[in-house]
Copies of this chain bind each other. A is one copy, B any other.
């Protein structure tokens, strides 16, 4: 009768792989490792779940590959050093949490307690988060300062996840943003 509204999926292994990877990234970020099923990801892409196991080997391997191609902390380390606190605090307290920027945090926070995902998260967050941050900070106590910064960033994300912002009004969110920015900048510039 009518032609299909969405173009017929043309066979293309590379494109399908990428589509699976992106759908998986979104799912893992929004639902966490345990709560996303291969069938969910497959139906997002419009493909059979068996294909995912065939392409990636299994759910754990898929998760590992998602981590390696997820956005990392580099974005926040670009730009001037003095602006770091404001950039991060704005993202944490003001910007809508649907942004792609949050995906790495969300994946880590929502999947960290899953034993099958924990090892990959530990390894990846060390390589793609802590080590770059520590190197960027520099100085002898960089590891400790990186840890404090990480506490603030993860804690802020976790708080928003739990409370969905409904405890703070707009002006309070700006206050929170200022407080976070000042604290972040303090640990960027000074000694711990």
Residues of A at under 8 Å CB distance from B? 31-32, 34-35, 108-110, 112-115, 118, 121-122, 125-126, 130, 141, 143-145, 147-148, 150-156, 158-159, 161-164, 167-168, 172, 175-176, 178-180, 183, 187, 192
Contacts and interface: CB of A to CB of B under 8 A. Distances in A.
A179 B183 CA distance: 11
A162 B121 contact: yes
A155 B151 contact: yes
B155 A143 contact: no
A59 to B, nearest CB: 15
A148 B159 CA distance: 10
A35 B113 contact: yes
B150 A159 contact: yes
A164 B141 CA distance: 19
23 contacts: A31-B113, A34-B35, A35-B113, A113-B161, A122-B163, A122-B164, A125-B162, A130-B167, A143-B168, A144-B175, A145-B179, A147-B168, A147-B176, A150-B159, A151-B155, A151-B158, A151-B159, A152-B155, A154-B154, A154-B158, A155-B158, A179-B192, A183-B183
A89 B161 CA distance: 23
A156 to B, nearest CB: 5
A151 B156 contact: yes
Given A148-B180, A168-B147, A108 B162 contact: yes
A22 to B, nearest CB: 20
A162 B32 CA distance: 15
Contacts of A192: 175-176, 178-179
Max chain B Cβ within 10 angstroms of own Cβ: one of A112, A115, A143: A112
Contacts of A158: 109, 112, 151, 154-155, 158
Contact of A126 (B154, B161, B163): B163
